[in-house]
Chains A and B, each alone.
Chain A
Amino acid sequence: MTDPAPGARDGDAPDAAERHGAGAAPRPGEEELFAALDRTRADLAAAPRPVAPEGLTASLLAAVAAEAAAGAVDDDPPARRRVAPGSVTPSRRRVGSSRRRRTVAALAVAATAAAVLAVVVLGTGPAGTAPPAPTAAPAPSPTGAPVVLTSGDLPQALRAGLGGRDGTADPAARAACLVAHGLPAGTVPVGSRAVVLDGRPGTLYVVATGRAAVFRLLVVGPGCGPGSPDTLGDVTVGG
């Protein structure tokens, strides 16, 4: 370790550090401080980037593809959505209008053909009774009110699941929930959103399937965890 610069006065070190950062020469007595700061900068420059998880880029590309697909299907003006503070505010995307109309038509045909490939809705109410009205709203999400859906809405819920945040406090719990649905460990949803599906509070996850423009929309209840799927809805859309 290096002794403090013998000639440096107390309180001068941060100022000396600023002069070092500006490329100034050390004053008498500051040589060792400057040398220490040089070593620190060298350590920082030499530190390799943290290793990104395998599949990160693929997952992000899938998220972008989902956004593109959802944006093309949803021809309505985008609803106001929360974006990261300081980032650009939402605006209408200027996608070429004729290209967009063709894409919308093609996706509409594909969505109709592929709609509701698998729908699993688990209800716990007694047979023959109306589903109970929500007696309590889900815990307020930092992102705002949950999206209210019915089973019939689920195939069209792709856009609702993108860009929102379910407020999941524990990524590990989310990961365990997805594993309970047969997904590989480490799966990161393309999107997620707090929802109320058929009157039951839950979380919608949009998961890439590995096939272009095909996504799994999974709605899970609050009890979803290791060995306990608590599935409210499960549908694959797109393609």
Chain B
Amino acid sequence: MDDTRSDEALLAAHVAGDPSAFPELVRRYSERLWAFATRILRDSHDASDVVQESLISAYRNASRWRGEATVNTWLHRIVHNSSLDRLRRRRTRTAEPLTDAVDVPLHRDPILDRERVLAVEEALGRLPLAQRAAVVLVDMEGMTVAEAAAVLEIKEGTVKSRAARGRYRLAQLLGHLRPEYDTASDPVGPTARIVGNDPAPGGVQAPGGQVRSPSGGDR
């Protein structure tokens, strides 16, 4: 029988000692959180680890949730912060060459335009982490700006700005805008490597790489 309790009711039931409550939240959110982590980390193996760590953290600390955010945003926030932690450790631990390979498993749907989907995922990977997170939450996960701000723990205006700039960059990478349009107006510049976030205290350097123009080749 499907559990019809709301997410918030489940979390409260878990805190009260109901052993069936948290597993139901896991069933509801596992794949969504994994997809979010994969798009942030650009690595499906790391995403699995991060989601597991995050759910264990949520399990242990559920009593600290006060309802100031929805369970959805709360869980996404934990995953986002765990992902940042993983990226910091990845950056300090390894000096492995960055790769343009996209480790984002795609649906095996013969009708789906796999080339277009791959292009979107590749382009997404070329955004600075802060812009990528905002775009993923608002434009792919369907969150409101307020919800995304709660996940990222930034102001709503910052979410809007990051998402807008991310979309603009994606429009260029996806070929909806000519690359030359970028030359004078994009502060990153066509020859710069896209690494790191928008300037922010404690910002994390995201794994970056050489920018490949939509027509191929490295910049």
A residues sitting closer than 8 Å to B (CB atoms) are 1-4, 10-14, 17-18, 20-22, 33, 36-37, 39-41, 43-45, 47-53, 56-57, 59-61, 63-65, 67-68, 71, 78, 83-96, 99-100, 142, 162-163, 165, 167, 169, 171-172, 188, 190-191
Contact = CB atoms under 8 A, between A and B. Distances in A.
B23 interface: yes
A96 B174 CA distance: 54
Interface of B: 15-17, 19, 22-23, 26-27, 30-32, 34-35, 38-39, 44-46, 48-49, 51-65, 77-78, 80-82, 84-85, 89, 93-94, 104-109, 112, 116-117, 120-121, 135, 139-140, 142, 153, 160-161, 163-165, 167-168, 170-171, 174-178, 180-181, 184-187, 214
Contacts of A85: 81, 84-85
B164 A18 contact: yes
A68 B15 CA distance: 12
A188 to B, nearest CB: 5
Contacts of A89: 61, 64
A44 B140 CA distance: 6
A84 B17 contact: no
A17 B167 contact: yes
A122 to B, nearest CB: 28
A49 B33 CA distance: 10
B140 A61 contact: no
Contacts, number: 217
Interface residues of B, dominant DSSP: helix
B206 to A, nearest CB: 16
Given A40-B167, A52-B105, 4 more contacts: A2-B178, A14-B185, A64-B56, A171-B46
A13 B168 contact: yes
5 tightest A-B contacts by CB? A86-B81, A10-B184, A96-B17, A88-B64, A84-B82
What is the interface of chain A mostly: helix, strand, loop, or mixed? loop
Nearest to B93: A169
B198 to A, nearest CB: 11
A67 B39 contact: no
A11 B185 contact: yes
